[in-house]
Amino acid sequence: MDTQLIKNKELVLNDWFWIVPDTSNEEVKKQAGKVVQFKLTGECFPSDATLNNVILPEAEKVIVPLRLFLLQTDKIKKKYKEYGIWIYSHDELDLFSHLKEDINSFPVVGVYVEKFADGRIYSLGNLIRRKLSYKNDLRALGDVFKDQLFYLARSGFDSFLIKDGYDAKKALLGLEDFSYSYQGTLSQKPLWGER
Amino acid sequence: MYKYDHYDRKIVNQRVDQYEDQLNRYFNKELTDEEFRPLRLQNGLYIQRHAPMLRVAIPYGLLSSNQLRALADIADEFDRGYGHFSTRQNIQFNWPKLEETPKILRKLADVEMHAIQTSGNCIRNITTDPYAGVTPDEIVDTRYIAEILRQWSTFHPEFALLPRKFKISISGSKQDRALVKTHDIGLELVKEDDNLFVNVFVGGGLGRTPVIGQLLKEKLPIEHLLSYCESIIRIYNLYGRRDNMYKARIKILVKALGVESFKKQVEDDWNDGKNSSNHLNDKEISRVKQFFTSPDYEVLESIHLEGQYSEDQNFLKWIKRNTRDHIKIGYRSVTISLKGKKQTAPGDIQSTEMRVVADLADQYSFGEIRSTHEQNLVLADVKEKDLFDVYSVLRENNLGEANIGLITDIICCPGGDFCSLANAKSIPIAKSIDNLFDNYDFLFDIGTISLNISGCMNACGHHHVGNIGILGVDKDGSEWYQITLGGQQGVNASLGKVIGPSFSADEVPAVIKEILNIYIAQRDTEEEEFIDCYNRIGLDPFKEAIYKN
Ligand code: HEM
Ligand code: SF4
């Protein structure tokens, strides 16, 4: 199967259309913001104008940026049979509080990392599971390949869209890198219980 | 000391497999340089000026004699016959070949060692007091808590790719010999009615922006130690700067938010009570603690060494400087100086010398060795009646330098000879200062003092907390040295003050000598140590004398 999507430890057909706004012309903030220190420097969010320019594709199932969903909720709900949402790794968790919908009404929630060395995705996984009590498919998007999967899975993610050009079959093996882990997670007890 | 069970062994072996696969994918161009970099760093592999450098973890500085022998073998087989003890109690090899690194890691795994998280933007080796368990001023033995922290921090799924490196240190004595206030998280263990608590300091660090850590949480019950640290590091992971590596340490975040506001965020995360499944229980604490019980000490009487060896002043000097009191009568802890005239650089040790130390440990100190952040080695449990024999063997092998805590016990980073980030060389400066002290009386007369050298503001040589600090700076492409006075580690940690314009390498020894002369002229009594004298008279007398010409 020619697919880059790993879910529940298997390669599966990817029938989700992932909508990514083009931010290449967006202005990048050079200064750290006053309110949320540090978050904004060098990182950019799509402006409302950019989001409103996104052409909604013909598809059955889509994953849309949360910012776009908030802007065009009705349109998206009407157009698609199923829809999920995604956030940037530099988004605030607070962004979810603007949703009127229950987060568990979304079959998929994604977190996007631009660079794999960006480790915020792991803590966001923890928060989305713990603080927002999200129960469905939590998906890692973006610069995702073999070497993150073991950690991502333990931070609450259950599906991974492997970056194009990277061998998804090999990546799958990353989930088996270690047979044991010392520390507990939200879903696993620490190893010391077994000793 | 801690012994691996099949879980530990499996984890470490699987890490070698994982690393080997990463290296192969890199060689096959399936991983770019940029992608491979953080991966190799998480396994202690730097690419340096001359060759890769492999940093091997010595968890909280504790080594067995067999581990030290294995390090000697690795130095012979894969390096140039020596290793370098670092200021975070680890050991570094400067000349391994990239393609041989998996083999080295397998050899390490055979003796329950690894290079996991010794560099990279993750939680680094946990460091502690090198005299833990044997020092008379101890309140709590830190070693088992350090081991618990080691396991918890190893491959923590959330914290593999932090904004920047993250260092944790832990102390359990009246004197802080673990630098807890210059660590990202510093932990101070305290006891009340037999219950263990932790004072948590945060945001200390050296580097470009030296900061003394602030108290974040007082008397945290020990069972919450891991979950509380998780909340701290989670907030840092999410909000620490990632756009500028020089502003990415937690100290910058804590400073920007203010410690109160940072604390609020941490506690909001932590207080919901379900933030972690890593709440320690007594069973786990006892399980790990039993690896660190006291060895079979003999019941001994104290020996009056001064009387017995009055004709051997060199030995007595060594006793005075290089041994310290022990919890058991008739025992002392020996610190072996790696700062002798024969060492090429402070902290360097030849493979032959490693084997000598390993044999001494077997014969005289229950087969264990500790490394110190001052880049020396410790035999923690030597009988007083064996001290002369230990000293004799050390002296025969050029390891008998009696200079612990003296000015020639220099902390020094690899500097321009090895490090690609350096502004200036540091090892030759250490040598030139060392050469001032051929006269041992002068050296002993100066007494306790610390002199730390870094080749650039990254501060690997801890120059900020040296009583005398020397920092390599670049001025129009040539090498200069800035001198600071008054830095101090420990409970009264403080940062040195710059004395004035910087000096050339040639000028440095004379300036140091002048500083010492002023101290000797100004001190109250011979007992007043350099730092106390400095704190009393301040910077000006030094400054005036040095810049008067
Ligand atoms: C030879 C290659 C080395 C390189 C390229 C290197 C690089 C660096 C850099 C860039 C920093 C600054 C980190 C920051 O402020 O965020 C740093 C800090 C540090 N390095 Fe090194 N280092 C090297 C060797 C060493 C050695 C040999 C030691 C021990 C003797 C050492 C001990 C330290 C320590 C303790 C710090 C921390 C200072 C702090 O707490 O901020 N480094 N190093
Ligand atoms: S202080 Fe600077 S010169 Fe010295 S080892 Fe660190 S980075 Fe290199």
Asked if B192 and B147 touch (Cβ cutoff 8 Å), the reply is no
For residue B158, the chain A residues in CB contact (below 8 A) are 119, 122-123, 125-126, 151, 155
Q: Looking at the complex, does the CB of residue A31 fall below 8 Å from at least one CB of chain B?
A: no
Decide if B241 and A189 are in contact by the 8 Å CB cutoff: no
| Res A41 pLDDT > 50 | no
- Side-chain half-sphere CA neighbours of B110 within 13 A: 13
Could you tell me the pLDDT band of residue A87, with boundaries at 50, 70 and 90? very high
Q: B41: Cβ–Cβ under 8 A, 6 or more apart, which residues?
A: B119, B120, B121
* Residue B242 located in a structural domain: yes
Q: What is the pLDDT of residue B87?
A: 82
> Residue B455 CA: which ligand 2 atom is closest?
3
Asked if B349 and B320 touch (Cβ cutoff 8 Å), the reply is no
Query: What DSSP character marks residue B472?
Result: E
Tell how far the Cα of B371 is from the centroid of ligand 1, in angstroms. 17
Number of domains in chain B: 4
Q: What is the pLDDT of residue B274?
A: 63
- Shared domain for B309 and B284, answered yes or no, is no
Provide the residue range defining the domain that includes B311: 305-396
Q: What is the pLDDT of residue A35?
A: 35
Distance in angstroms (rounded) separating the CA atoms of residues B239 and B522: 49
Question: Within B42-85, where are the H helices?
Answer: 65-78
Tell how far the Cα of B435 is from the centroid of ligand 1, in angstroms. 26
Decide if B157 and A167 are in contact by the 8 Å CB cutoff: no
- Shared domain for B165 and B61, answered yes or no, is no
Distance in angstroms (rounded) separating the CA atoms of residues B109 and A92: 41
* Residue B1 located in a structural domain: no
Among the candidates B368, B396, B424, a domain finishes at B396
For residue A188, the chain B residues in CB contact (below 8 A) are 277
Q: Provide the residue-wise pLDDT of chain B in tens; the chain has 549 residues.
A: 999 999 999 999 999 999 999 999 999 999 998 899 889 999 988 876 667 889 999 999 999 999 999 999 999 999 999 999 988 889 999 889 999 999 999 999 999 999 999 999 999 999 999 999 999 999 999 999 999 999 999 999 999 999 999 999 999 999 999 989 999 999 999 999 989 999 999 999 887 788 899 999 999 999 999 999 999 999 999 999 888 888 889 999 999 999 999 999 999 999 876 667 899 999 999 999 999 999 999 999 999 998 889 899 999 999 999 999 999 999 999 999 998 766 678 899 999 999 999 999 999 999 999 999 889 999 999 999 999 999 999 999 999 999 999 999 999 998 998 888 899 999 999 999 988 887 778 888 899 999 999 999 989 899 999 999 999 999 888 899 999 999 998 778 889 999 999 999 999 999 999 999 999 999 988 888 999 999 999 999 999 999 986
Burial bucket for residue B100 (CB in 10 Å: 0-12, 13-18, 19+): middle
Asked if B22 and B30 touch (Cβ cutoff 8 Å), the reply is no
The tokens for A192 are 């010391």
CB burial of A34-61 (b: ≥16 within 10 Å; e: otherwise) equals eeebbbbbebbbbeeebbeebeeeebeb
Give me the mean pLDDT over the A162-189 stretch: 95
Tell how far the Cα of B406 is from the centroid of ligand 2, in angstroms. 23
Q: What is the pLDDT of residue B549?
A: 67
Q: Domain locations in chain A?
A: 5-22+29-194
- Shared domain for B157 and B256, answered yes or no, is yes
> How far does the CA of residue A119 sit from the closest CA of chain B (Å)?
4
Residue among A68, A55, A45 at smallest CA distance from A84 = A68
Nearest residue in B to A152, CA atom: B157
Q: Are strands B45-47 and B52-56 parallel, antiparallel or unpaired?
A: antiparallel
Q: What is the pLDDT of residue B296?
A: 94
Q: What is the pLDDT of residue B520?
A: 92
For residue B497, the surrounding DSSP H or E stretch is: strand B497-498
Alpha carbon separation from B36 to A147, A161, B132 (Å, rounded): 10, 20, 37
| Res A28 pLDDT > 80 | no
Rg (CA), chain B: 23
Distance in angstroms (rounded) separating the CA atoms of residues A94 and A90: 12
The tokens for A9 are 């430890």
What pTM was computed for the model? 0.88
- Shared domain for B265 and B368, answered yes or no, is no
| Res A33 pLDDT > 60 | no
Nearest residue in A to B31, CA atom: A166
Decide if B160 and A122 are in contact by the 8 Å CB cutoff: yes
Q: Is the CB of B414 under 6 A from ligand 1?
A: yes
Tell how far the Cα of B470 is from the centroid of ligand 2, in angstroms. 12
Q: Is the CB of B460 under 6 A from ligand 2?
A: yes
Q: What is the pLDDT of residue B273?
A: 60
Decide if B162 and A119 are in contact by the 8 Å CB cutoff: yes
- Shared domain for B163 and B96, answered yes or no, is no
Nearest by CB to B161, from A39, A119, A192: name it: A119
Q: SS3 for A38?
A: coil
Residue among B371, B222, B228, B230 at smallest CA distance from B289 = B222
Other Cβ atoms closer than 10 A to B185? 26
Could you tell me the pLDDT band of residue A34, with boundaries at 50, 70 and 90? very low
Q: Looking at the complex, does the CB of residue A28 fall below 8 Å from at least one CB of chain B?
A: no
For residue B91, the surrounding DSSP H or E stretch is: strand B91-93
Decide if A177 and B284 are in contact by the 8 Å CB cutoff: no
- The fraction of chain A above a pLDDT of 90, given in percent, is 78
Among the candidates B362, B396, B430, a domain finishes at B396
Q: What is the pLDDT of residue A1?
A: 60
Q: What is the pLDDT of residue B343?
A: 66
At residue A62, what are phi and psi to the nearest 5 degrees? -130, 155
Q: What is the pLDDT of residue A39?
A: 43
Distance in angstroms (rounded) separating the CA atoms of residues A19 and A16: 9
Nearest by CB to A178, from B14, B160, B276: name it: B14
| Res A25 pLDDT > 90 | no
Q: What is the pLDDT of residue A29?
A: 55
The tokens for B543 are 């400054």
* Architecture of domain A5-22+29-194 in this structure: Alpha-Beta Barrel (3.20)
> For atom 6 of ligand 2, which residue has the closest CA?
B460
- Shared domain for B360 and B423, answered yes or no, is no
- Shared domain for B476 and B380, answered yes or no, is no
* CATH number of the domain where residue B350 is located: 3.90.480.20
From the CA of B455, the nearest ligand is 2
Tell how far the Cα of A91 is from the centroid of ligand 1, in angstroms. 32
- With tokens 């568990």, the residue in question is A104
- Shared domain for B523 and B417, answered yes or no, is yes
Nearest by CB to A154, from B157, B163, B238: name it: B157
| Res A36 pLDDT > 90 | no
Distance in angstroms (rounded) separating the CA atoms of residues A19 and B89: 49
Q: What is the pLDDT of residue B249?
A: 92
Decide if B277 and A189 are in contact by the 8 Å CB cutoff: yes
Decide if A184 and B276 are in contact by the 8 Å CB cutoff: yes
- Side-chain half-sphere CA neighbours of B546 within 13 A: 28
- Shared domain for B316 and B279, answered yes or no, is no
Query: What mean pLDDT value characterizes chain A?
Result: 90
Residue B18 one-letter amino acid = Q
Distance in angstroms (rounded) separating the CA atoms of residues A139 and A158: 6
Residue B306 one-letter amino acid = E
Decide if A122 and B159 are in contact by the 8 Å CB cutoff: yes
* Residue B73 located in a structural domain: yes
Q: Looking at the complex, does the CB of residue A132 fall below 8 Å from at least one CB of chain B?
A: no
Tell how far the Cα of B376 is from the centroid of ligand 1, in angstroms. 18
Nearest by CB to A38, from B17, B39, B241: name it: B241
Nearest by CB to B277, from A125, A150, A190: name it: A190
Q: What is the pLDDT of residue A20?
A: 94
Residue B514 one-letter amino acid = E
Q: pLDDT by residue (tens digit) across B34-64?
A: 899 889 999 988 876 667 889 999 999 999 9
